[in-house]
Amino acid sequence: MADKPVVAKVEDFAVRCVKLWQYLLKKQEYDISRQIKRSGTSIGANVHEALCASSKKDYLNKMYIAFKETNESLYWLRILNRSEFLDEKEFNSIYADCLNIKNILTAIIKTTKNNIKNKTDDNVYAENDNSDQ
C-alpha cells in the first residue's frame, strides 16, 4: 500500500505535537498549545479515515482535510516561533516534518485527482463491499 509511509509520518508527527503540547504547558502557554495539538493530531486521524474510504472521492476528501490541518499546523508553529515559545532549533525540526507531510499529501491529492479524472481503479476502496452478492 502506497499510503504506509505517510501513515507512519503522520503518527510520528501527532506524537511530536502531543509532546510539544506538554512542553508548552510547562511554559504556561495554554491556548496555542491546544491548537497545535488539535490540528497536529487531526492530520493523522484524517489520513486513517481516508484508508477506510468508501470511494475515491471520499478518500480524496479525507486527504484534503488532512492537508488543510497540516497547513493550519504550519501556521501555529510559525506563531509559536515568532512569539518565542519555540527557539529556532525546535521550530526548524518540527516545521520541516510538517512541511514534508504537506508535500506528501499534496502528491497524494494530485495523483488521486488524476485517477478520478481518468476513472482508473474505481473499486480500489470498496474491495470488501459485498453489495453485489
| Predicted local distance difference test score (pLDDT) of residue 12 | 98
Question: Under CATH, domain 4-117 is a member of which superfamily?
Answer: 23S rRNA-intervening sequence (1.20.1440.60)
Residue pair 32/78 in contact (Cβ under 8 Å)? The answer is no
Q: Residue 119: its pLDDT value, please?
A: 79
pLDDT tens digit sequence for 78-102: 999 999 999 999 999 999 999 999 9
Q: Select the more confidently predicted residue: 130 or 112.
A: 112
Using an 8 Å Cβ cutoff, are 24 and 80 in contact? yes
pLDDT tens-digit map of 9-28: 999 999 999 999 999 999 99
The answer, yes or no, to whether residue 125 has pLDDT greater than 70, is no
User: Domain boundaries in the chain?
Assistant: 4-117
**With 90 as the cut, is the pLDDT of residue 52 above it?**
yes
Q: Is 71 exposed, middle or buried (0-12, 13-18, 19+ CB in 10 A)?
A: middle
